[in-house]
Each structure stands twice: as C-alpha cells, then as structure tokens.
C-alpha cells in the first residue's frame, strides 16, 4: 500500500481520508500533539512537526505522494514553509507525486471570467504573492530532481568563479524560464546574483541562501 503524506490536516484532508480509507496509508503532519488521537481515529498516522521549525521535519519518512494543503505565512513575499517542506522531503528523493492546493488569487482580478491554468499569474495581494512563490518553488524543485546535475567549483577568486558559473548557466539555461537557487558564502552568492541580474534574470527568479560556514574550496 502506498504511503501518502498530508501537510495541513484540516477539513479537506479529513474528507479525503474518509473517502479513500483503506486505499493508501495516510500520514498527517500536525503541529499540536493533542491532535494525534483524532488522526488515529481516522486511520491516519500522525507526525508532529512544524513547517516554521525545520528541525522538527528531519524525521519525515519516505513517502510515495504528498498532498500539500498548508497555507503560507501571513506576511512577507515568500513561502518559507514550502521551502522547509521540500528540503525535508529531498532527503529521500522526490516522491512520485505532489499535489499543492493554491488559490485562484494568483491570477489577480479576472472580472469573474473563467480562468485557465495557462494564464500568466498576476497576484495583487500579499497572500497571492506568497502562493505564487510556493508554486514556483514546487515547479523548480520538481524539475531539478528530475535531472539534477552539479559541477564542483574550485576557484580562489570568488568574483571570478561566480562569473564563470554565470556564463555556464547562461549557456545551459537561459532559453528556459526557470528559477535560480543560489547557496554559498555571502561574497559568492552576492557576486553570482549580480552576474545573473546583469544578464537579464529578474529578481523574482532568484532565491538566495547564505551559508555561514565555509564550503569546500570556496573557504
């Protein structure tokens, strides 16, 4: 029987597990331990963790599918909760499927018209902006794990190394509309981000994470 992780266990999740009882092994991510008995009564294995506290997600099990129902935070322009979830899931490789419930608000004010999912996003409020960020993270994560490549960069001059890497990325990826995830020492991240921006990559396509510890030859 396949194992399905449900992230954000509310009314929709409860109706879903009742509808498909016995057809999959459901694991429910909950923040409050006192809800564990409630999930067990539904035949769901509880996992107590908090998307705002990445350390609590380290023991998430390998699963065949994920139903991501959790909302983003109430402020900011990004969804760190989705980022924390994806980081935890990646320890076991990409699951067979991941379903994310977003909102039609990502398309902006459409005047009551029918909207296709191919319509460009145009969020007009903070909540929709954060949902768009989650969608982009999920899309980039899925594409990256389908065919992930890496190259060791051992360059003493951080700025020169960043320029080299940016040229390689332009050659391989600039025909594709994608997001860029940059991680490393601050000087390297800043230099690479500047190179990509000067090459025409929009700020919205770039996510950065500064590593406080030296990494390999970049120390």
Q: Are 198 and 139 part of one and the same domain?
A: no
**Tens digits of per-residue pLDDT, 22-80?**
999 999 999 999 999 999 999 999 999 999 999 999 999 999 999 999 999 999 999 99
Q: Are 55 and 103 part of one and the same domain?
A: yes
CB 218 within 8 A of CB 158: yes
Q: Are 51 and 95 part of one and the same domain?
A: yes
| pLDDT of amino acid 133 | 92
Q: Are 41 and 92 part of one and the same domain?
A: yes
Per-residue pLDDT band at 172 (split at 50, 70, 90): low
Q: Are 84 and 7 part of one and the same domain?
A: yes
Q: Are 24 and 48 part of one and the same domain?
A: yes
Closest CA to 18 of 36, 48, 47, 43: 43
Q: Are 74 and 170 part of one and the same domain?
A: no
| pLDDT of amino acid 185 | 74
Q: Is residue 113 situated within a structural domain? A: yes
| pLDDT of amino acid 219 | 34
Q: Is residue 104 situated within a structural domain? A: yes
Q: Is pLDDT at 161 greater than 80 in this prediction?
A: no
45 or 143: which carries more pLDDT confidence?
45
Question: Highest-confidence range of 108-117, 130-139, 179-188, by mean pLDDT?
Answer: 130-139
Number of folded domains that form the chain: 2
CATH number at residue 21: 3.40.50.720
Q: Are 66 and 28 part of one and the same domain?
A: yes
Q: Is residue 152 situated within a structural domain? A: no
Which of 121, 146, 171 delimits the end of a domain?
Answer: 146
Question: Average pLDDT for residues 133-156, to the nearest whole number?
Answer: 69
CB 47 within 8 A of CB 29: yes
Query: Can you tell me whether residue 186 is helix, strand or coil?
Result: helix
Q: Is residue 153 situated within a structural domain? A: no
CB 153 within 8 A of CB 217: yes
**Domain residue limits at 84:** 3-146
Q: Are 165 and 139 part of one and the same domain?
A: no
Query: Can you tell me whether residue 75 is helix, strand or coil?
Result: coil
């Amino acid at each position: 029987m396949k194992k399905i992780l449900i992230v954000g266990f509310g009314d929709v999740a409860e109706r879903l597990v009742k509808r498909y009882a016995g057809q999959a092994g459901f694991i429910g991510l909950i923040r409050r331990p006192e809800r564990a008995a409630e999930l067990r009564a539904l035949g769901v294995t509880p996992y107590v963790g908090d998307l705002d506290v990445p350390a609590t997600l380290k023991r998430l099990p390998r699963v065949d599918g994920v139903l991501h129902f959790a909302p983003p935070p109430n402020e900011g322009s990004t969804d760190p909760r989705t980022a924390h979830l994806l980081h935890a899931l990646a320890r076991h490789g990409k699951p067979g499927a991941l379903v994310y419930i977003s909102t039609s608000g990502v398309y902006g004010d459409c005047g009551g018209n029918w909207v296709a999912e191919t319509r460009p996003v145009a969020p007009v409020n903070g909540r929709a902006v954060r949902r768009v960020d989650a969608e982009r993270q999920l899309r980039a994560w899925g594409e990256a794990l389908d065919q992930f490549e890496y190259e060791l960069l051992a360059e003493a001059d951080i700025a020169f190394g960043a320029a080299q890497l940016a040229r390689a990325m332009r050659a391989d990826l600039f025909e594709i509309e994608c997001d860029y995830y940059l991680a490393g020492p601050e000087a390297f991240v800043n230099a690479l981000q500047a190179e990509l921006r000067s090459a025409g990559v929009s700020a919205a396509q770039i996510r950065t994470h500064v590593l406080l510890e030296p990494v390999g030859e970049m120390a």
